[in-house]
Amino acid sequence: MIEDAERRAIEHECARLVALYANLNDEARWGEVAALYAEDGVMYRPTAPDQGVVGREAILSAFKARPPRTTRHVCSNVVIDVEGPATARGTSAMLLFTAADAPPLVGSFHDRFCLTAEGWRFAERRGSLIFT
């Protein structure tokens, strides 16, 4: 049984990962973005929801392979469900702005979190687009 204070702390740490991911992504700080994943974490981009990128090194390579761009991710409606002392799940809404002449992308993330020696990390981050 998880006490309320511990549950709230886990919810806070996982919600912080969601926000930190968006901010670091917008700043093109790819090494720090990849470090938010567990070593064996999996990333599914909203634009490629069926193509998992497995492991921190592969995730880092995938981000570095992107052409430079200016972005602003807006994440909201973050809900974290604590499953146990070392696992949680979460959902969030996402709005991505990329350029003045491109319409924003609207989607969501479904996340699995795990507690590692480095703290809470994404075990899996699965993005999807709602309006394309």
Sorted by where each begins, the domain ranges of the chain are 4-131
31: pLDDT strictly greater than 70: yes
pLDDT grade for 47, boundaries at 50, 70 and 90: confident
pTM for the full predicted model: 0.94
- Integer Cα distance of 120 and 112 in angstroms: 10
Q: Kindly report, residue by residue over 67-122, the tens digit of the pLDDT.
A: 898 999 999 999 999 999 999 999 999 999 998 788 999 999 999 999 999 999 99
**For position 101, what pLDDT does the model report?**
82
Q: What is the pLDDT of residue 45?
A: 93
pLDDT value of position 130? 92
Contacts of 17 (CB under 8 A, 6+ apart): 36, 111, 113, 120, 121, 122
pLDDT score recorded for residue 122:
98
> Could you tell me the sign of the dihedral formed by the alpha carbons of 116, 118, 124, 127, in that order?
positive
Give the single-character DSSP code of 28.
T
Phi, psi at residue 97, to the nearest 5°?
A: -105, 130
SS3 call for 26? helix
Positions of E strands within 2-118: 37-44, 52-54, 72-84, 87-97, 105-116
DSSP secondary structure code for residue 103 in this structure: P
Q: Which residue has the higher pLDDT, 23 or 46?
A: 23
Which pLDDT value is given to residue 99?
A: 81
Instruction: At 118, give phi and psi (nearest 5°).
Output: -90, -5
Residue 132: per-residue pLDDT: 64
Domain 4-131 has CATH 3.10.450.50: yes
Q: What is the mean pLDDT of residues 50-54?
A: 96
